[in-house]
Amino acid sequence: MVQRVGVIGAGLMGAGIAEVAAKAGSDVLVWEAKQEFADAGKARIEKSLAKAVERGKLSEEDRDAAVQRLTFTTNLEDFADREMVMEAIIENEDVKKDVFAKLDAIVEDKKAPLCSNTSSLPIQTIASATQNPERVMGLHFFNPVPVLPLVEVIPALTTDEEIVERAQNYATEKLGKTAIRAKDRSGFIVNFLLVPYMLSAIRMVEQGVATPEDIDNGMKLGAAHPMGPLTLADMVGLDTCAFIADVMYKEYGDPSYACPPLLRRMVTAGHTGRKSGKGFYDYSK
């Protein structure tokens, strides 16, 4: 079983992945582009671990042990001894291709899965940027990673089945996630369904059909969803929602994936949801 894992990026998703891997007992090396981003990622993980302790999900001893298993670096070369890498950086195809090409040259174990947490970009494009596309695949976690039990496993056309199984076994047996497999098509399974749902809710606000509160209450109280689509979009990040919509619309040409003008304007205005303090709701207080 994989023991030494690498996580690329310590933002919302990367920090969550690093946290669950450290809690599961892995030696976790986290890369960030700058020391200040690494420090912010560490603080994010510690805050979430503190919440887990507060909620009685984790003992203080286990929290301290998890923190000990985390190391941060700004040098990708430090990933040479990793047995598996999970990437969760910005959703930019060129940036991801560059990181995977470098990782492929650095990570010595040629059986080490190099996984992307991309929500919508083609895994094949990322794999094809490397010399060893057979070890590149998608491993897509859900926000908040410490709470949601799902992972999507996405082999590219070129991925070696043994590599896929190695990554899937790590995610299920070590991290305790439930895996579902999807083909390398934009949105995989969950976002293929979830994104047009959130976009429909945004169109309803845009057309003045109902208020965000009423739409969210409708789905919470009438369909037993844990949160409504607009609260969810704010949590995912409206810039991320717009980006995924654009990629999916490009892939399928289906209007249900087209980014609503209101969403685009909100992103331009900097109203990107919870992280900016303003989205469909106000988080500034």
Tell me the catalytic residues. 119, 140, 152, 191
Phi, psi (rounded to 5 degrees) for 199: -65, -35
Choices 66-74, 93-101, 142-150, 261-269; region in contact with ligand 3HC by CB under 6 A: 142-150
Distance CA 185, CA 251 (A): 8
| Minimum distance from residue 281 beta carbon to ligand 3HC (Å) | 14
Q: Is 69 exposed, middle or buried (0-12, 13-18, 19+ CB in 10 A)?
A: middle
Contacting residue, 122, 146, 228, 260, with ligand 3HC by CB under 6 A: 146
| Minimum distance from residue 226 beta carbon to ligand 3HC (Å) | 4
Closer residue to ligand 3HC (CB): 148 or 182: 148
Q: Is 226 an interacting residue with respect to ligand 3HC (CB under 6 A)?
A: yes
Q: Is 236 an interacting residue with respect to ligand 3HC (CB under 6 A)?
A: yes
Q: Is 227 an interacting residue with respect to ligand 3HC (CB under 6 A)?
A: yes
- Cβ 152 vs Cβ 115: under 8 Å: no
Contacting residue, 31, 72, 100, 142, with ligand 3HC by CB under 6 A: 142
Q: Is 16 an interacting residue with respect to ligand 3HC (CB under 6 A)?
A: no
Contacting residue, 26, 191, 272, 276, with ligand 3HC by CB under 6 A: 191
Q: Around Cβ 84, how many Cβ atoms within 10 Å?
A: 28
Contacting residue, 33, 67, 106, 148, with ligand 3HC by CB under 6 A: 148
Closer residue to ligand 3HC (CB): 29 or 145: 145
| Minimum distance from residue 205 beta carbon to ligand 3HC (Å) | 19
Segment 47 to 106, residues that bind ligand 3HC, using CB under 6 A: 48, 51-52, 55, 57
Closer residue to ligand 3HC (CB): 84 or 121: 121
Residue with nearest beta carbon to ligand 3HC: 119
| Residues found near ligand 3HC in the complex (CB under 6 A) | 48, 51-52, 55, 57, 119, 142-144, 146-148, 191, 194, 226-227, 232, 236
